[in-house]
Each structure stands twice: as structure tokens, then as C-alpha cells.
Amino acid sequence: MTSGPVGRPDQSMTLINEVMQSPLDPGYAAAADSRLRSGLSPATGHRSPLLVVMAVLIGSLLATSALALRAPETSASKVKAFLVGRIEASRAHDEAQSRLIAGVSREIDIAQTAALSQQNQTGLAAELSRLELAAGTVPVTGPGLVLTLDDAKTEVDPKNPVVDPRAATGPDLGKVMATDLQNIVNGLWQSGAEAISVNGHRLTSRSAIRFAGEAILVGPRPLTRPYVITAIGEPGSLIVDFADSDGGSYLQSLKVNDKIRGDITERDLVVVPGEPALSLEHARPVRSAVTKQTRVPTAATATSPTPQTTETSP
Amino acid sequence: MIPALGLLVGLAVGLFLHPAVPLALQPYLPIAVIAALDAVFGGVRAVLDGIFNDKVFVVSFLSNVVVAAFIVFLGDQLGVGSQLSTGVVVVLGIRIFSNVASIRRHLFRA
């Protein structure tokens, strides 16, 4: 850093100049100069044992630092990974078991039909399929309607863009509640619907629509919005009766007052899936002529592990 | 060539032996790594300039590491260890980039 006779304009920044312009150790140049003066070549060889030892030392330093300082897994992230793994494993297990159930119940159906037809119990087979249909264990199809329900759009009111922060802590009126679904489904039953499913989950004699935290549950299964209610019923009259029913007026008031989005369309053909896992563990049929009649064929016991409960056979 | 092989041997030794570093020395490791890199790139540049000197290389490496560690130690005692570490990293980082730029000019003429 030689300053000119006038003085450099950047003299006050000697530190930065020093760092930027002479990054090489001046020692190398000085050593080369002294070696030249003593008649040697300016550079030494690259094979001195000292240099090799140094290289080994630097290499091990790099590797050791990388190993020692790599951020170790914190216990929180370990626990999280463990839980995520368990959730995924359980989900996979659930799917596998559901497939197994579906396969086994198909086998049961086939065996049941075979057993009943062998014994010439065609009346019983017809009775069974009629009961299955009514209990909601098999998928059904027919004319009906599709009702889509969704939360109100959460956009800021253009006339009043200042949102009261305290308003967010109160109950959100624009959100679909379990009660809303209950009222609408009840209105559909009332209007003569024969089979109803919500987001592909069949409503049976054991289905409850309820709230758990933020989510609406049908039976044990949580739903995600939008909520699609599929109902089968008499074409024409179902939609009209529903509009007249309590559920219809309830839906109307939801749409008008709370800006909840609801949309009913009539369809010529809708499919309502079955609920294959429907089974009764404790309920027993009251001993009457009808139930005795269904218990007579012993062939049915081959397909049903508990012959006392007529519900488990489908 | 032989120093490069030595570097690889050292890396392998560190990776496979996995020596335990005492907790008290761990704050100095990043600084030591930066200082070592600075010495290595300075040495490579000197080789390309034709003025490499093994003694200067060893001394510059050791003094870099010692001074950097001392600055960090002093900073720890004064309660500004992380700031002084940052200072050391910045200064040595600028030197590393300058040396690498010079090496690049030698190798690629660009």
C-alpha cells in the first residue's frame, strides 16, 4: 500500500484496502525474495513431510468439525418424527384393514347367497337383501338430490374493510356447524329421503353427526368442507318437500343471515354408498315369531360368527 | 499432489475415527475451519504464483488458528463471543474469496 505523493483519496480506508488488495500473506513474497537472494528457486517443493502432516491435520480438522458441529436431532423433532411415523403406519394399517373387511364381506355375501340357495331358502335371501337395503349396508342408487353446503366466503366487507379484531374471537357465524348439518339431514328424512350420505359416508341407524373441536364428524370420521349431502328420494317431490320442511327453511335462513353457501341440485341418478362396518355387538332381537323364523336355518351360522345377532350376518 | 492425498487421508481419518471433541473446544471449531481454509487457499494461490514456501504455509495456518481462537476466547470472556466470531469469519471470508479469485485467474484466465 504505497501512497502517492499527493495522498490517496481513500487513505482513511486503509483497513479495507489492506483486506481487499493484499489477501495473500506477505510472508510468501518475503520468503521467495530471501530464497532468490540466496540463489535458490523462489518456491519450495510440495513434498516436505511437514506439509503432508499439515494436510492430514487440516483434513481431519474439517471432518471432525463437520461431525462434531452438525446440528443434532433435537428431542422434539425426534418425537415429532416418531409420531408422524406412527400416524402414517396407523393410516396404512387402517386402509389395509378396510380393504380386508371389504373383501371378506364380499366373500360372506357370496357364501350367504350360496348357502341360502342350496337350502331353497329363496324367500329368506330376498328378506335378507331387503333388510340389508333398509339397514344401509349396501350401496344404493336412484333419483335424488345433491346438496352442497360450505362456509361463508371469508372476504373482508368492501364497505367496512376494518375488521374488528375482537370479532374473530366470537363464534364464526359463517361456519357450517354440526347442528346445521343435523337440521338439514333431519329435514331431508322428513321429506321422504330413503338414503342419505354426507361426503360419501352413509347415514345409518348408528350414525351421529356431531362436533369434535373444529371438525364435524359423521360417526367416527371427520369431514372436510365442502359438505356434500346426497339423498335418494322420490323425484320432484323430495326437493319440493324439503324446501317446505323445517330443514329447508333452516337452510334458507343460513343462506340469508349467515351467508353460508348452500346449493341444491336435483339429479336423475345419484349413488349413496353403503356402510359395511355396521354391526351390533350387544343388541339382541326380541324373541318373536319373525326373528325365530330367521334363526331356523342353521346354514346361516356358517357365515355368521354370532348367530344370535341377525345384524351381523350382512 | 501429495498434500492433496494427505488432505483426503485426514478427511478419512476424521470420518472413520470420529474423535470426540471436548465441549469446551467446540466453539472454536468453526473458526479453526475457516482459518484452515484461508491458509489452504492462500497456499494454493502461492503455488500458482510460484512462490510457495512450506514453512510460511505451516506458520500461517497455525497463527491463523491460534489468533482466531484467541479472539473468540477473548470475546467469550467479554460476553461478545458470537460477535467476534462473526468478525473473524467476515475477515477470513474476504481473504478466502480474494485468494479464490486469484486462483481462478490463474487457472481459467478469467
* Statement: residue A171 has pLDDT above 70: no
Q: Which helix (H) or strand (E) holds A245?
A: none
Cβ contact (<8 Å) for A27 and B50?
A: no
Which positions in chain B touch A23 (Cβ < 8 Å)?
42, 94-95, 98-99, 102
CA-only gyration radius of chain B, Å: 16
Considering A147-156, A214-223, A224-233, A268-277, the range whose residues carry the highest mean pLDDT is A224-233
Chain A environment of B13 (Cβ under 8 Å): 56, 59-60, 63
How confident is the model over A53-62, as a mean pLDDT?
A: 86
pTM for the model stands at 0.44
Residue A60: which of B13, B40, B59 has the nearest Cβ? B13
Radius of gyration of chain A (CA): 39
Confidence band for A295, pLDDT divided at 50, 70 and 90: very low
Q: Which of A44, A47, A62 sits opposite B2 (nearest CB)?
A: A47
Q: Cell numbers at residue A228, please?
A: 356434500
Residues of chain B numbered 52-71 and touching chain A (CB < 8 Å): 52-61
Alpha-helix runs per DSSP H in chain A: 14-21, 26-37, 49-69, 75-118, 122-135, 178-190, 237-244, 246-257, 289-295, 299-303
Cβ pair A59:B8 closer than 8 A: yes
Closest by Cβ to A27, choosing from B12, B30, B60: B60
Q: Do B40 and A24 touch (CB under 8 A)?
A: no
B90 pLDDT more than 60: yes
What is the ipTM metric for this complex? 0.80
Which residue in B8, B53, B94 is closest to A32 by CB distance? Answer: B53
Q: How far is CA A92 from CA A99, A224, A265, B32, B57, in A?
A: 11, 20, 36, 49, 60
pLDDT tens per residue, range B31-74: 888 888 888 888 888 888 888 888 888 888 888 888 888 888 88
Can you tell me whether residue A222 is helix, strand or coil? strand
Task: Please answer whether residues A307 and A300 qualify as being in contact, where contact means their C-beta atoms are separated by less than 8 angstroms.
Answer: yes
d(CA B28, CA B20): 14
Closest chain A residue by Cα to residue B101: A23
A31 to chain B, closest Cα gap in Å: 7
Burial of A145 (0-12, 13-18, 19+ CB in 10 A): buried
Per-residue pLDDT band at A22 (split at 50, 70, 90): low
Q: Is B48 on the interface with A (CB under 8 A)?
A: no
Say whether A58 and B7 touch across the interface (CB within 8 A).
yes
Q: Round to whole Å and give the CA distance between A77 and A88.
A: 16
Nearest CA in chain A to B1: A46
- pLDDT band at A306; cut points 50, 70, 90: very low
pLDDT, tens digit, 9 for 90 and up, residues A244-292? 888 888 888 888 888 888 888 888 888 888 876 667 778 887 876 554 4
Binned at pLDDT 50, 70 and 90, residue A93 comes out as very high
pLDDT for position A45? 72
Burial class of residue A169 (count of CB atoms within 10 Å of its CB; 0-12, 13-18, 19+):
exposed
* Mean pLDDT of the A47-70 span: 83
**CA–CA separation, A225 vs A77, rounded Å?**
31
> Mean pLDDT over residues A178-196, rounded?
88
Disruptive mutation site among A52, A58, A60, A67 for chain B (greatest number of B CBs within 10 Å): A58
Contact A56 B98 (CB under 8 A): no
Q: How many helices (H) and strands (E) does chain B have?
A: 4, 0
Mean pLDDT, chain A, rounded, equals 76
Q: How far is B102 from chain A (nearest CA, A)?
A: 10
The residue with greater pLDDT, A105 or A18, is A105
- According to the model, what pLDDT value does residue A8 have? 66
Give A292-298 contacts, CB < 8 A, sequence gap 24+.
A294/A124, A294/A127, A297/A115, A297/A116, A297/A119, A297/A121, A297/A124
CA distance A275 to A98: 11
Q: Note every long-range contact of B2-6, with CB atoms under 8 Å and residues 24 or more positions apart, other chains counting.
A: B2/A46, B2/A47, B2/A51, B2/A52, B2/A55, B3/A46, B3/A51, B3/A52, B3/A54, B3/A55, B4/A55, B5/A55, B6/A51, B6/A52, B6/A53, B6/A54, B6/A55, B6/A56, B6/A59
Q: Which of A33-42, A139-148, A226-235, B92-101 has the lowest mean pLDDT?
A: A33-42
Please give the C-alpha separations between residue B107 and each of A47, A237, B102, in angstroms, as whole numbers: 22, 86, 9
Asked if B3 contacts B40 with a C-beta cutoff of 8 angstroms, the reply is no
Report the gap between the CA of B54 and the closest CA in chain A (Å).
6
Q: Do B10 and A68 touch (CB under 8 A)?
A: no
- Sheet with A140-150, strands from edge to edge, namely A201-202, A195-198, A227-232, A140-150, A261-272
User: Which residues of chain A are at the B interface, by a Cβ-Cβ cutoff of 8 Å?
Assistant: 19-20, 23-25, 27-29, 31-32, 35, 42-48, 50-69
* CA distances for A184 relative to A227, A234, A246, A253, A263, angstroms: 11, 17, 8, 12, 12
> The domain A139-153+173-273: what is its CATH number?
3.30.70.1880
Looking at the predicted structure, is the pLDDT value of residue A307 above 50?
no
Size of interface A-B (CB pairs under 8 A): 151
* Inter-chain residue contact A62 with B29, CB threshold 8 Å: no
Q: How is A152-213 classified by DSSP, letter by letter? A: PP-PPPTT-----GGGGGS--TTSPPHHHHHHHHHHHHHTT-SEEEETTEE--TT--EEEET
Does residue A314 have a pLDDT over 60?
no
Whether residues B54 and A60 touch (CB distance < 8 A) is answered with: no
User: Is A28 in contact with B21 (Cβ distance < 8 A)?
Assistant: no
pLDDT at residue A86 in the model: 93
The side-by-side arrangement of strands in the sheet containing A209-212 is A209-212, A215-218, A221-222
Q: Where are the domains of chain B?
A: 22-108
Contact B54 A65 (CB under 8 A): no
